[in-house]
Structure 1
């Protein structure tokens, strides 16, 4: 049923392509307007989208599994989603017209966030302790790979299923020694709840054997084929917005404040700075530019996904990422 719906809506999207061709480029985020989304708003605020002849409206989302179908069905030409979620979606819906076109989180934010005072400083410290993990959590989905890479005996880890709203409060109250989550989110939420920063341990899974990529800009492939220059222009504007954000993270958050008046600016600047440091502006990105992938690493990441996910079809890297729309004018070299 899902495949048939996607086919029909994609066909409708293709017929309506002329609407998008007139510079309308709505963009579907995977989450709320928070610090790490600043580069898109800087591209909007500083006129980079406009310079490419694009009219971009940024829409908040409710997770990758919300953003991916929006783009696959043609409701949005471009969006933002977790690469592992995209891979699984395309494995289950191989005809869906959606693919990754610009890698944005070179390292995923998946992490184990724990407290030193509760005995958590290294991966093996999880043995004999309680780990709080929301069942739908993306970091929890990678825990078996993380455990295998670090020699953790999972039978010695007590896993407590928790809800997203109760995850950090349970850590702050000492009901669990560590939680799975996004590094910058669980870290900052715990500090806001009174956990001293010096008591926090953040084990970024990408630094402990996880080869997976993080979030990626995705595009409807029918739109991309019909409007390659617009898509490239969009990606170039995003890269410029990222450079502006690296230059001035505070201004990046300011670009969102008017759209989210309840935003805690200081908190979101901190969240943005952590995302830039740990996930976006990695050593690989500084050397190679933002947006591309290392094909050997990507192949290894597919092998790791297969540890906890049984592919219906054989993994096919070309289905999940197409770097041909990335600009080649040097704009991807963010410093």
Structure 2
């Protein structure tokens, strides 16, 4: 009898083992690819799509772990990727053009893989009741900005296009949180920055930008440039292209979610920076979507892609105006190889 019971137990165990082997198995957990990303600025409303993509698991679904750090300016993000301190960044594509133009052909410079800001946000803000009304009026004045600000870095190019003698303009650096107050107090005659960065940072300190400031926008004087883009190290683009494709798929999903629910995006920002003014940051987000990301070409190309002819012209503008040593080919600066298909990408903002 004991032998019969043993045989029966063995048969049941063997049958269970066979059944278990026939059932579908969960995939073995894989260690995600960890990427360090630097943002263009401190945590603000227009970064909400990155945080939504993170909070909703879109990066994780792509096998990625993204560590996001605050930035010190859109130009600085490019340098941080170029130095190897970060794998990816959200930075100014024009700063990347300058870097590539100063490098030898074939150098392992970073690569822009998605041009999210397709209209130029660069500006110089001055006091509305002050004497500066045209770019020429900047001569003999002092203009300030954070050292790594994108507009400040493009000022030599803007000066040439707008007919300003740049040698007659004094440039001073300041901490980002002091910019709007220093202008309001008359400590400088103007400040460099992105239109929406200045306008909504002014609101946060009780300044009415519509009443108190006048904006001299670079785009009104021939600088039809792209702006902030996703920037990746050349090493990463070469060795792990699938990681970058997954990254952009996740960001695209985060952007779609942001368009559906601005408040959710702002809450994702507040999760990282609880002291933000939610109302102002929502205004900043909406204004960014409506201005920096609203070029008509997006309806045909989708957010992230570029118009090749327009990009060649923008490269030429930056190179000529800055007196750079060579004109990079567009594919030295930008690649669309990592973008999601057009049918999957955002084409309308609103």
* Residues 28-49 of structure 1 deviation map (CA, whole Å, 9 limit, x = unaligned): 2232222221111111123322
- Cα separation, partners in 2 of 1:280 and 1:27, compared to 1, 3 Å: same
Structure 2 partner of 1:5: none
1:58 to 65, 68, 74: 68
| Of 181, 188, 192, the match for 2:200 | 188
Measured after TM superposition, the shift of residue 210 of structure 1 is: 0.8
- Bigger shift: residues 48-57 or 248-257: 48-57
Q: Which runs of 5+ in 2 are unaligned?
A: 1-29
Q: Which residues of structure 1 form unaligned runs of 5+?
A: 1-19
1:163 matched to 2:174? The reply is yes
Pair 128,324 (structure 1): closer, same or farther in 2 beyond 3 Å: closer
Alpha-carbon offset, residue 160 of structure 1? 5.8
TM-score, normalising length from structure 1?
Answer: 0.81
- Check conservation: 1:132, 1:167, Cα contact below 8 A: no
Q: 2:94 matched to which residue of 1?
A: 84
Structure 1 residues 21 and 293: CA distance shift in structure 2, 3 A: farther
CA distance in 2, matches of 1:65, 1:271: 20
Instruction: Compute the displacement of 1:162 (Å).
Output: 5.0
**Aligned twin of 2:6:** none
Does 123-132 or 23-32 show the bigger shift?
123-132
- Tell me how far apart the structure 1 counterparts of residues 341 and 126 of structure 2 sit (CA, whole Å): 42
1:325 aligns with 2:338: yes
When normalised by structure 2's length, the TM-score is 0.78
Matches within 5 A, 1:184-263: 184-199=196-211, 200-263=213-276
CA deviation map 1:276-310 (0-9, x unaligned): 12112332223421111111121111222124433
Cα distance change of structure 1 residues 230 and 110 upon mapping to structure 2, 3 Å threshold = same
Instruction: Call closer, same or farther: CA 1:80–1:196 in 2, change over 3 Å.
Output: closer
- Which digits, 9 at most, give the CA deviation of each residue in 1:250-300, with x for residues without a partner? 211210212122222222222222221211233222342111111112111
Is 1:279 aligned to residue 255 of structure 2?
A: no
Q: Aligned pair in 2 of structure 1 residues 53, 146: CA closer, same or farther (>3 Å)?
A: same
1:98 and 1:167 mapped to 2: Cα distance? 30
Q: Is 2:301–2:342's contact at 8 Å kept on the other side of the alignment?
A: no
Instruction: Give CA-to-partner distance per residue, 1:301-335, whole Å, 9 cap, x none.
Output: 12221244333344232211111111115222342
Higher mean alpha-carbon deviation, 29-38 vs 289-298, is at: 29-38
Tell me: CA distance 1:157–1:186, structure 2 relative to 1, closer, same or farther (3 Å). farther
Q: CA deviation at 1:176?
A: 4.6
In 1, the alpha carbon distance for the partners of 2:332 and 2:98 equals 11
Does the Cα contact within 8 Å between 2:135 and 2:216 map onto a contact in 1?
A: no
RMSD, aligned α-carbons: 3.0
Q: Aligned in 2, Cα 1:135/1:218: closer, same or farther, shift over 3 Å?
A: closer
- Change in Cα spacing, 1:132 to 1:207, as seen in structure 2 (3 Å) is same
